[in-house]
Chain A
């Protein structure tokens, strides 16, 4: 069966520090991969998605970047965090041609 792993679960980082959040998927190949951010427990904002290794689509220009170095690995990064980067970050995967993504358990990021 397929599983998605996301870590860390919580993170407190100072303003100006770098960020690296990792997401990996097991049990499938060639997944579509996604990073979402959720602020204040409400709407999910799509940040990046990837349909293949090295292919990244950015939805919202901002202080963050994403990379997909391997088929089942998706990384969210920042060189210098801002206070506004605080939020709940969710990774998700989906099969091409089908609907309904599977989400990871999320990372609660607090920038102080």
Chain B
């Protein structure tokens, strides 16, 4: 199956800092998704990207669909404590959704 390489694996930042994480693949995809999972909960969709080069924002979150269609980036500006969680990139293939390994984000107040 498809393999997504997500980095960094974990991040420890101070409140107010900006965060950047990315996801790459050796294959081309038509859709990139970003999810956030809080402790003990299921993942929640943050942003969906449908077009190469597309830049989409959701509040303080901004995600980009790489022009090569093999990567995607998620940025969080001015982080706050409630940004804590695991962020996953994901791609769709047929009826299946495949996830990256996740980036564990810790925000220190």
> Would B99 and A43 count as touching, CB distance under 8 A?
yes
Q: Please encode chain B, from 56 to 97, with 1 for each CB lying within 8 Å of some chain A CB and 0 for all others.
A: 000000000000000000000000000000101000100111
Residue picked from A34, A42, A105, most chain B C-beta under 10 Å = A42
Residues of A near B50 (CB, < 8 A) are: 99
| Nearest-Cβ distance from residue B29 to partner chain A, whole angstroms | 11
Residues of A near B43 (CB, < 8 A) are: 44, 90, 103
> Would A43 and B101 count as touching, CB distance under 8 A?
yes
> Would B48 and A99 count as touching, CB distance under 8 A?
yes
Q: Which residue in chain A gives the minimum CB-CB distance to B86?
A: A41
> Would A51 and B95 count as touching, CB distance under 8 A?
yes
Q: Please encode chain A, from 16 to 56, with 1 for each CB lying within 8 Å of some chain B CB and 0 for all others.
A: 00000000000000001010000001111010010100000
Using C-beta atoms within 8 Å of the partner chain, give the interface range for chain B.
Answer: 20 to 34
A-B contact count (CB 8 A): 56
Q: Cα distance A100–B45 when bound, in Å?
A: 6
Does any Cβ of A come within 8 Å of B40's Cβ?
Answer: yes
> Would A94 and B102 count as touching, CB distance under 8 A?
no
Residues of A near B45 (CB, < 8 A) are: 100-102
Residues of B near A42 (CB, < 8 A) are: 86, 101-102, 104
Does any Cβ of A come within 8 Å of B24's Cβ?
Answer: no
> Would B95 and A106 count as touching, CB distance under 8 A?
no
With A42-B86, A44-B88, A99-B48 known as contacts, the answer to whether A106 contacts B99 (CB < 8 A) is no
Residues of B near A57 (CB, < 8 A) are: 95
| Nearest-Cβ distance from residue B11 to partner chain A, whole angstroms | 14
> Would A34 and B102 count as touching, CB distance under 8 A?
no
Residues of A near B98 (CB, < 8 A) are: 46
* 26 A-B contacts (beta carbon < 8 Å): A41-B86, A41-B104, A42-B86, A42-B102, A44-B43, A44-B99, A46-B98, A51-B95, A57-B95, A59-B1, A90-B42, A90-B43, A92-B42, A94-B97, A96-B95, A99-B31, A99-B48, A99-B97, A101-B45, A103-B44, A104-B42, A105-B40, A106-B40, A106-B41, A106-B42, A108-B40
